[in-house]
Amino acid sequence: MSYPRRVASLFLATCLVGIHQVAAQDLSTLLLRFQAEQDRAAKEAILENITTGYPSAGSALLKIASTTEDTDTTWLAIRGIGRQEFKDAAPFLKQSLSSRSNYVRANAARALGEIHDVSATPNLMRTLKNEQDSGVIEQTALALQMLGAHEAVPLLKTKAANPSPQTRLWILGALETLDPKPDVSFFAAFLFDENEIVASYAAGALERLTGQDFGFPKCGPGACSFGEGVKNARRWWNDHKQDWKQ
């Protein structure tokens, strides 16, 4: 027995409507669980399900972020907005750069980079200028890097002496990408950084900028030491620093 074509079409349409209704219900349930959950790790796991399973959840996450009074819910929702590149959230994200919460400021900065809102560059630069929190500085530097904000180079240089080695790395990474005429002597100063990882990055950056080979090992899985490469870079710089003064 075969169904008439019209009946089969109606049956298929009904099934599709049912599927969409179930999906919407599932998203609503996840959003409610996301808001109610107090454990941060569990909350992040729910957010992961939302952002990966429901690509159009940006507007719902924006509503949550802009109305909740719970700080963790706010910054995690902002993180989800960035992951989904929900551009309509740009005004709220710019406003969030002034939040009292460093987590909110950091995630708002990164999200502005992820949604590729070039108009946010002045806002991010204002944030970076006055910011003291290392995490916010890192995410703001990354956002400026994502946006190709070459005009931020002088400001980023003023933040490169941050007490946190990790923050110094993020700043150097942004500068290497953004500076149209990289200042070799600026990077060379970090060859003598007290942190081995920062010094190694500076040596690697000098290799890329000058075309020199400092003999860094080709590392595979496992431990790898860059100490000899850094020493070679320092010797090279001591011999050639006069050639690179700007």
pLDDT tens, residue by residue, 73-110: 999 999 999 999 999 999 999 999 999 999 999 999 99
CATH code of 47-152, in short, is 1.25.10.10
Neighbours of 75 (CB within 10 A): 22
Q: What is the pLDDT of residue 221?
A: 53
Q: Domain ranges for the chain, please list them.
A: 47-152, 181-246
pLDDT tens, residue by residue, 36-75: 999 999 999 999 999 999 999 999 999 999 999 999 999 9
Q: Minimum mean pLDDT among 18-22, 89-93, 164-168: which range? A: 18-22
pLDDT tens, residue by residue, 146-161: 999 999 999 999 999 9
Structure pTM?
0.84
